[in-house]
Amino acid sequence: MADPVFRIADLRKSFGPTQVLDGVSLELNAGEVTVLMGANGAGKSTLVRIVSGVYDRDGGTITLDGKNFSPASPADAIRAGVVTVHQNINDGVVVALDVATNLTLDRLNGSGARLFFNPRSVRRQAREVAARMGLEVDLNAEISALSLADRQMVAIARAMAHEPKVLILDEPTSSLSSAEANRLFEVVDRLRERGVAILYISHRMSDIRRLADRIVTLRDGRITGTFNSKPLDYEGAVNAMLGQTIHRAEIAARDGAHTIFSAEHLRIADHARPFSLGLGDGEIVAITGLVGVGKTALAETLFGVRAPLGGMMNLNGNAYAPQSTAEAIKAGVFLVAKDRAESGIIKDFNLYENLSLPFLDRISRLSVVPRRTERAVAREAISELGIVCRTERDDMATLSGGNQQKVMVARWMSQPASLFILDEPFQGVDIAARRDIANKLRESARGRATLIFVTELDEALETADRILVMSEHTIVGEHRNADVDIDRLLAEIAGQNLKGAA
């Protein structure tokens, strides 16, 4: 076998006391697709940013064609032949420009650019790039007018225009339909035939089965598995990514007293099979699965952020079809969002103001908010969830991540709910904070249905009465949390049970 085109050896990176990459070694071969799998916080994004010239590394070596590779900027990496399509779509396009200019922007700005701008030449070059990609978008349209999927395709086409030696695709199909994803797969096949080394970061089993020549798993900043043998061991890769040992907590699984929420033939993505779902009073149900399988999409559907593509929902015996988050909240459906920094906390507010924010209309009298009531509710939450702070007047920015998360949970638990949804509620918190939150959820479960979305199996096993598995935007498995068959559960997470969707 020829030497690898791209070699990473003992790569290290820390941010303050946190070791994000701890001796990562990885080789990419010409004409191969290497899939990199890793849970949230495994270090994938940091690895990509180092390779693409965004971050400096603390230690280790990177070589391209046997020569040292140390890009000082993304432009440096691109000129050397290492091109990255980032997960954040807007990192790959300039929203204020049209499609044609985006597709040729790097040529216009490169070392060989002409002195004068030639619109006709730009359009001709853009048509050539679009044709190679199979891109069917109006070249005169501004990026800002395109859908997320079309922006993603433009970003990918722009990357292909560089004719890279190494191409890094970070969750490239996250915003694409099945037809668009298939078009991307065909382009990847052509690049593989031309000898491009491809690092493909994804958890979507349909992508991995279609493209992977091998799978590498990353966990806590370290490589935990490499899978080369055919057929590829998808279940083994998932196990290596999540950790070899799944710890069982001692939970007495409870059954719901009666159904509070149900969904029939629900469809949340255009390529997904419908599924049905029932949640009982006093029951905590965890939905687990890899990143990108539809957990957040389902949470947003239940909370009125997006409309389902099919099916019916029922809440407390009545049809439930929220047109907005305000309608969902009014119906008694609350959501602790996945990204507390973007859609959860307000750092400029103090602790008690954050707690009461969504319910000001409920607690105000004659448009006046009783501060005494706000502070009393906050003090109770501090006591019950063990929030570490000086007083309820502390600014949110002064709290640790785990304590900020506790505030978000306490916010939505401060008012009675019919359906309580938590999207990755334990993300970024330590084990002690996780158990405080889990214990409070179980103690207060009566009178509502509780649905938590988690990637880590440990979190589901130590919190839930029932565990459902999502894959490809549908439910593929169900387990009562008593004597769970871990091997079967892992196989479902790996996408081995799609034919048995619920």
Three-state helix/strand/coil letters over 91-120: HCCCCCCEHHHHHHHHHHHCCCCCCCCCHH
Domain final position from 242, 270, 290: 242
Please report the pLDDT score of residue 2 as a whole number: 61
Of the two residues 64 and 100, the one the predictor is more confident about is 64
Q: Are residues 392 and 444 in the same domain?
A: yes
Q: Are residues 66 and 166 in the same domain?
A: yes
Q: Are residues 175 and 287 in the same domain?
A: no
Of the two residues 360 and 105, the one the predictor is more confident about is 105
Q: Are residues 200 and 273 in the same domain?
A: no
For 192-196, the CB contacts below 8 A with 24+ separation are 192/31, 192/32, 192/33, 193/31, 194/31, 195/30, 195/31, 196/30, 196/31, 196/164, 196/165, 196/166, 196/167
Determine, yes or no, domain membership for 30. Answer: yes
Taking the C-alpha atoms of residue 45 and residue 15, their distance in angstroms, rounded to an integer, is 13
Centre a 10 Å sphere on the Cβ of residue 161 and count the other Cβ atoms it contains: 22
Determine, yes or no, domain membership for 116. Answer: yes
Q: Are residues 277 and 232 in the same domain?
A: no
Q: At which residue do the structure tokens 């997960």 appear?
A: 87
> In the predicted model, what is the mean pLDDT of residues 93-100?
80
Q: Are residues 344 and 388 in the same domain?
A: yes
Phi, psi for 312 (deg, rounded to 5): -130, 150
Quote the DSSP letter at residue 131: H
Q: Are residues 265 and 169 in the same domain?
A: no
Among 381, 439, 453, smallest CA distance to 410 is for 381
Q: Are residues 225 and 304 in the same domain?
A: no
Quote the DSSP letter at residue 231: S
DSSP bridge pairs for 83: 167
Q: Are residues 21 and 156 in the same domain?
A: yes
Taking CA atoms, 77 is separated from 81, 367, 427, in Å, by 6, 57, 32
Mean pLDDT of the chain: 82
Determine, yes or no, domain membership for 1. Answer: no
For residue 499, name the pLDDT band (cuts at 50, 70, 90).
Answer: very low
Side chain identity, residue 477: G
Q: Are 285 and 463 in contact (CB under 8 A)?
A: no
Q: Are 282 and 447 in contact (CB under 8 A)?
A: yes
In the chain, the percentage of residues whose pLDDT exceeds 70 is 84
Q: Are residues 222 and 319 in the same domain?
A: no
> What is the SS3 assignment for 226?
strand
CATH of the domain at 144: 3.40.50.300
Helix/strand number for the chain, H first, E second: 18, 20
Determine, yes or no, domain membership for 218. Answer: yes
DSSP bridge pairs for 226: 216
Domain final position from 242, 269, 286: 242
Q: At which residue do the structure tokens 């204020």 appear?
A: 96
Domain final position from 208, 242, 276: 242
Determine, yes or no, domain membership for 480. Answer: yes
Among 22, 33, 35, smallest CA distance to 494 is for 35
For residue 113, name the pLDDT band (cuts at 50, 70, 90).
Answer: very low
Taking the C-alpha atoms of residue 402 and residue 501, their distance in angstroms, rounded to an integer, is 35
- Domain range for 216: 6-242
Q: Are residues 303 and 232 in the same domain?
A: no
Q: How many folded domains does the chain comprise?
A: 2
Helix (H) or strand (E) holding 478: strand 474-480
> In the predicted model, what is the mean pLDDT of residues 137-148?
81
Which pair of structure tokens corresponds to residue 322? 């929220």
DSSP, residue by residue, 201-222: E---HHHHHHH-SEEEEEETTE
Report the alpha-carbon angle 44-47-48, nearest 5. 90
Phi, psi for 258 (deg, rounded to 5): -155, 160
Helix (H) or strand (E) holding 279: strand 275-280
Q: Are 275 and 262 in contact (CB under 8 A)?
A: no
Which of 287-291, 350-354, 444-448 has the lowest average pLDDT?
Answer: 350-354
Determine, yes or no, domain membership for 186. Answer: yes
Which pair of structure tokens corresponds to residue 474? 């549908």
pTM value surpassing 0.75: no
Of the two residues 439 and 323, the one the predictor is more confident about is 323
Determine, yes or no, domain membership for 250. Answer: no
Taking the C-alpha atoms of residue 149 and residue 156, their distance in angstroms, rounded to an integer, is 11
Among 369, 358, 470, smallest CA distance to 417 is for 358
Q: Are residues 40 and 101 in the same domain?
A: yes
Determine, yes or no, domain membership for 254. Answer: no
Residue 328 has pLDDT above 90, yes or no: yes
Centre a 10 Å sphere on the Cβ of residue 314 and count the other Cβ atoms it contains: 16
